[in-house]
Chain A
Amino acid sequence: MGSESSAKQFAEAGADLSLVGVSKRFPGFTAIDDLTLKVPAGSFFALLGPSGCGKTTTLRLVAGLEEPTEGKILIGEKDVTDTKAYQRPVNTVFQSYALFPHMTIFENVLFGLKRRKIRDADKLATDALALVELAHVAHRKPAQLSGGQQQRVALARAVVNRPALLLLDEPLGALDLKLRRQMQLELKDIQSEVGLTFLHVTHDQEEAMTMADTVAVMNEGRIEQMGAPEELYESPKTVFVATFLGQSNLFVGTVSGSGSEVITVSASGNELRVPVERAVAHRGEVTVGIRPEKVSLHVTKPTLTASQTMIGPGHVTDASFSGVSTQYLVEVPGLGEITVFAQNMSRGDHARLGDEVYLSWDIEHAFGLADAPPPSARFVSDTDTASVAVQEREKLEAELGEF
């Protein structure tokens, strides 16, 4: 029995994953375009993007379920591009769980261990089921379990093999919110406990942000931006990232002045300032963004310090109270509707519908993006239903306009 072969041994620790210039083209479209990515050993890495952005294809390439059209895939130092799925030290928690319906839960968990002829397989499988608190259903069939239980079995079946790399394909998609939270914590625990490298694919930005050390935002087969969750949220570099991760108010303007620390962008007569190091482009037409919770609302014109920007006056067009905060929509002439999240503190200004208000924020929170937002849907992601509704309406208006 060749116990030297790596596939038959447990990974001591997670391994690095590298994708070098990987492309995947299907007849008619490119799913992944020249992707280069390095996932350090032991990290929890999330690939985040809307459906169809190529994240699942990336995962399938790593698992060995698809072959790349171009490029190389390395796990640890080994090039696994030409190896088959069963030869790779990788396990996947499938979106559909894919539990074998003709086997018991226990047999499902045992499956990978048996294939690699691991000793004490029965004990390891029992332990893995105990880890996900499902020891009591070991002898049932998958069809007799609830969705959440099946999901945990799928996780146990993958984790029990101690793969160098664990791939998670939207594994929490089918769970309700409470179970989802619980599983997120459990996953995180398991990851830090066994020190595996996790590659997590999801379209849920909150899930990616709470769980992952590093998030890569994918769009149309490319990585838009990669970094720690806070970094991505605080300093997005593209419009897609700024709108897909949370909400952003975006203003398009022209750079009218640049100093050593801030550049000034004039948009419809308003002077917006952005720190130089937080701006991607420093000349020409740029997009300036600010997160809604960074914006303060004033009913009287505030006195500004040097480190603040103010716009206004504008009118409150919508105010919705949601307990801890109130979401305002403020219509500022020339800049359109601006979203503001105001904390409901005892002090501070409250505004009512139709009130004239001024908006201000600290310059250090503003960010400058290279690309311009699409003409509609500036505050929501492309895939948001509200955005789709706006786009549909515009299409309809354009159509009607032709008559």
Chain B
Amino acid sequence: MAFGAFQSSAPPGAPVASAQVQRKSPVALWLLLPGVLYLVLFFVTPLFSLVITSFEEPVPGGFMGEFQTGFRWENYVEVVSTYFSHIGRSFLYASLATIFALLLGYPIAYVIGVKLRRYPLAQALSLVLLIAPFFISFLLRTLAWKQIFSDEGFVVATLKTFQLIPSDAYLTGTPFSVVFGLTYMFLPFMALPIYTTLEKLDLRFVEAGGDLYANPFTVFRKITFPLSLPGVISGTLLTFIPATGDYINASRDFLGATDTAMMGNVIEANFLVLQNFPAAAALSLILMASILVLVTIYTRRSGTDELL
């Protein structure tokens, strides 16, 4: 199961794991009940509703947005052929944002979790700084970036002055600004899980690596990074999954343009503007299924069950 990535339990079959298997007691089942009820009510039921909607067909001669229950599987074929480029773009942007967030987030997490260990105050302050953006609505933050990247803004003007970009170039509404926005938005989601694992990293392993002739780079590659993999996997999943479905950054009202629209934008348009509910539902399910498949492959490949 893909979400096993979030737990760092021992591999199944290991003697350690079998010892930890807990006996099923009625109390545990009762405690599970509220959660199960909640999920049935607010996840399973809507999911069924979504599946049914995705197969609906238009009422003959009906109004726009009027549909009846049916089994119109062509809905799926239509949305895939119509929105093929949006699907591809969603995964491309989300992957790029995940990579950039990892490249930026890992060093931040490392500095806070390892280098600042001896300075608890500095460590706490850095963590607050990392989380601070959450205190402002993400809509406001994204709008602020739109201003910063605007044609009359400081960034574009400076780049033009130094002739780093042509004089007719712009940043808003480009793939650059969308990926930038996604990276910015999900950076804390990447950095925090990595921080959590690095903060617990036993530095004696690092010392032992140095003692066994590994230079600092090799120690990082062979010891620190592998030991922080649970955090890296959590972070990449927490970034990649929501980023794929994101519709704020890529929206024309924020950092995107028509040609940067992602699946989220298309689903939003079909549900709220075009009122093509079956198409929107079919797209949602395709998005969900493809993320599930990708994440499963990813966690299998990265061998989370090999960790600890």
Please give the residue numbers on chain A whose beta carbons come within 8 Å of chain B beta carbons, in ascending order. 7, 63-65, 84-86, 90-92, 94, 96, 98-102, 111-112, 115-116, 141, 143-144, 157, 161
> B218 is contacted by which of A64, A100, A115, A143 (Cβ under 8 Å)?
A115
| Interface assignment of B14: CB less than 8 Å from any CB of chain A | yes
| Bound-complex Cα distance A112 to B223 (A) | 13
Q: A143-B16, A143-B308 are in contact. Are A84 and B210 (CB under 8 A)?
A: yes
Chain A residue at smallest Cβ distance from B10: A143
For A64, the chain B residues whose CB sits under 8 A away are 210-211
Please determine whether B211 and A86 come into contact, CB atoms closer than 8 angstroms. Answer: yes
| Bound-complex Cα distance A112 to B213 (A) | 6
| Interface assignment of B152: CB less than 8 Å from any CB of chain A | no
Interface locus among B78-86, B125-133, B200-208, B232-240: B200-208
| Bound-complex Cα distance A301 to B146 (A) | 105
Q: How far is the CB of A328 from chain B (nearest CB, A)?
A: 47
The dominant DSSP class at the B interface is helix
> A98 is contacted by which of B204, B226, B306 (Cβ under 8 Å)?
B204
For A63, the chain B residues whose CB sits under 8 A away are 211
Please determine whether B308 and A157 come into contact, CB atoms closer than 8 angstroms. Answer: no
For A94, the chain B residues whose CB sits under 8 A away are 204, 207-208, 211
For B205, the chain A residues whose CB sits under 8 A away are 98, 100-101
Q: How far is the CB of B213 from chain A (nearest CB, A)?
A: 4
Of the candidates A64, A94, A98, A141, the one having the most CB atoms from chain B within 10 angstroms of its own CB is A98
| Interface assignment of B121: CB less than 8 Å from any CB of chain A | no
| Interface assignment of B214: CB less than 8 Å from any CB of chain A | yes
> A86 is contacted by which of B15, B214, B222, B226 (Cβ under 8 Å)?
B214
| Interface assignment of B292: CB less than 8 Å from any CB of chain A | no
For A86, the chain B residues whose CB sits under 8 A away are 209-216, 219
| Interface assignment of B307: CB less than 8 Å from any CB of chain A | yes
| Interface assignment of B227: CB less than 8 Å from any CB of chain A | yes
> A144 is contacted by which of B14, B213, B227 (Cβ under 8 Å)?
B14
| Bound-complex Cα distance A67 to B229 (A) | 31
Chain A residue at smallest Cβ distance from B223: A100
What are 24 A-B pairs at a CB distance below 8 A?
A65-B207, A65-B210, A65-B211, A85-B210, A86-B209, A86-B214, A86-B215, A90-B211, A92-B211, A94-B207, A98-B207, A98-B208, A100-B205, A111-B209, A111-B212, A112-B212, A112-B213, A115-B218, A141-B308, A143-B10, A143-B16, A144-B16, A157-B212, A161-B213
| Bound-complex Cα distance A229 to B24 (A) | 59
Please determine whether A101 and B211 come into contact, CB atoms closer than 8 angstroms. Answer: no
Of the candidates A84, A115, A116, A161, the one having the most CB atoms from chain B within 10 angstroms of its own CB is A115
Chain A residue at smallest Cβ distance from B14: A144
Q: Which of B168-222 contact A (CB under 8 A)?
A: 202, 204-205, 207-216, 218-219, 222
| Bound-complex Cα distance A143 to B219 (A) | 21
| Bound-complex Cα distance A90 to B208 (A) | 11
Chain A residue at smallest Cβ distance from B308: A101
Q: Which of B1-37 contact A (CB under 8 A)?
A: 10, 14-16
Of the candidates B10, B205, B229, B307, the one having the most CB atoms from chain A within 10 angstroms of its own CB is B205
Q: How far is the CB of B62 from chain A (nearest CB, A)?
A: 61
| Bound-complex Cα distance A102 to B229 (A) | 10
| Bound-complex Cα distance A86 to B219 (A) | 10
For B227, the chain A residues whose CB sits under 8 A away are 101-102
For A112, the chain B residues whose CB sits under 8 A away are 212-213
Please determine whether B208 and A100 come into contact, CB atoms closer than 8 angstroms. Answer: yes
For A100, the chain B residues whose CB sits under 8 A away are 205, 208-209, 223
* Top 10 A-B residue pairs of the complex, sorted by shortest distance between their CB atoms: A112-B212, A98-B208, A85-B210, A115-B213, A98-B204, A86-B210, A92-B211, A102-B226, A115-B214, A111-B212
For B218, the chain A residues whose CB sits under 8 A away are 115
Q: How far is the CB of A9 from chain B (nearest CB, A)?
A: 12
For B202, the chain A residues whose CB sits under 8 A away are 98
For A91, the chain B residues whose CB sits under 8 A away are 211-212
Q: How far is the CB of A199 from chain B (nearest CB, A)?
A: 13
Q: How far is the CB of B202 from chain A (nearest CB, A)?
A: 8
Please determine whether A102 and B210 come into contact, CB atoms closer than 8 angstroms. Answer: no
For A99, the chain B residues whose CB sits under 8 A away are 208
| Bound-complex Cα distance A161 to B211 (A) | 11
